[in-house]
Amino acid sequence: MSDKKEKSGYTFGNTGFLPQEEMLETGKKRQKLVIGIPKEDTKNESRIGLTPEAVEILVNNGNEIFIEKNAGAAANYTDSNYSESGAQIVDNKSDVYRCDIILKIAPPTIEEIELFKNNQILFSSLHWPSQSEEYIRKLMQKKVTAISFEGLKDKENCYPVVRSMSEIAGTTSILIAAEHLSNVHNGKGVLLGGVTGITPTEVIILGAGTAAEYAARAAIGLGSFIKVFDHSISKLKRLQTNLSERLFTSVFHPRVIKKHLKSADVVIGAMHTGEKGFQFLITEDMVKEMKKGAVIIDLSIDQGGCIETSECRSHYNPVYTKFGVIHYCVPNIASRVARTASIALSNVFNPLLLNVAEAGGVQKQLKEDIGLRHGVYVYNGILTNARIGNYFDIPSKDLDLLMAAF
């Protein structure tokens, strides 16, 4: 008889069955990551996905990082900061796009997608309402696995990138509103806030999520009178609890919000549009009845906006006036404070990439990490996001079924 080991844990010898050594499962095989960070278009985007400190940690753990020359300059990180941390600085953008993993803040342009090689991993924002069908199809042609920042979830089932950027965007929105109420930006010359003997400015906030909370904190700190509207009573209660004070809050009702818009100096749109798509909470007719010189800042513009008169703009042309109301609608508003935003992004991507390396690569990590899977919208060239598929009329497939096939 053969001495071949059986699944029972015993072998058959001359004297009968004998116990054998237990076959333990071997540990995961760690994979070295080769990460490329291209330079962003500084007119639209100033952030970078990894700080020099994060690069040092990743390199010390056996990974390679290639950074395009001056990629961190807009966030006030020099090439020497990165090279001293172990990154390799390259002049040619095509060298960056040869890396296995591309970490980019803004979605790549069509020209940049042409530089991709097949079967790469792309981490970037998506801003899908402002994307074209060509963008999605180009990624599919390159058989890329594309993961959006907006879709990533953590172990607490929260969106870490969205949350950190929302905190920054909420606070920044109030500072922007203050600028455009002042004479410096041809506003009506009103101080955002309140001083003794003068009626405080009124700020309406649409939504009661993270961005709304931080906008409310900033506005209250300046002395403004705020009014918060949301569909959810529980969110409104949570907001009041988090701010530790009573606020003017209301559920959405067209007549109620129309009444209060007439006296508003600032409107912050901080409402997630949800899976149902665009849902304008403020119509064009409502905007027409607002004060002349009032300011609208639509933080939901990356999802299509929650105000009917919102138009997606960029940092080099962010402001326009419609019906006498100043509009500021820029999707990547956090890049106005690029250094702070870059540190916040790095705090998410550094541990994420370390986990990917320990798991043996992105494909293996995707099988274990539900939160990472939630960010995937193209998998090995196949569209997996039904909402995008319906919008562009492109067939999509369930990611979990595809994962079983690869």
Q: Per-residue pLDDT tens for 342-357?
A: 999 999 999 999 999 9
pLDDT digits (tens, 9 = 90+) for 235-249: 999 999 999 888 999
Give the model's pLDDT for residue 298: 95
Task: Determine the average pLDDT of the residues in 131-152.
Answer: 93
Is the pLDDT confidence value at 9 over 80? Answer: no
Q: What is the CA radius of gyration of the chain?
A: 25
Domain ranges of the chain: 34-158+338-405, 162-331
Tokens 């009178």, residue located: 225
- Using N-to-C axis directions, what is the helix angle for 52-60 and 338-359, rounded to 10°? 10
Is the pLDDT confidence value at 315 over 50? Answer: yes
Q: In CATH, which of 3.20.20.30, 3.30.565.10, 3.40.50.720, 1.10.340.30 is domain 162-331?
A: 3.40.50.720
Which one of 230, 265, 298, 302 is the catalytic residue?
Answer: 302
Pick the residue with more confidence: 278 or 376?
376
Q: What percent of the chain has pLDDT over 70?
A: 90
Q: Grade residue 130 by pLDDT with cuts at 50, 70 and 90.
A: confident
Give the model's pLDDT for residue 394: 93
Which one of 127, 180, 265, 327 is the catalytic residue?
Answer: 127
Active-site residue, 180 included: no
Tokens in use for 61?
A: 């753990």
Q: Grade residue 199 by pLDDT with cuts at 50, 70 and 90.
A: very high
Mean pLDDT across the chain? 89
Give the model's pLDDT for residue 79: 97
Identical topology for domains 34-158+338-405 and 162-331: yes
Active-site residue, 127 included: yes
Class of the CATH-defined domain 34-158+338-405: alpha beta
- Which of 252, 249, 345, 312 is CA-nearest to residue 53? 345
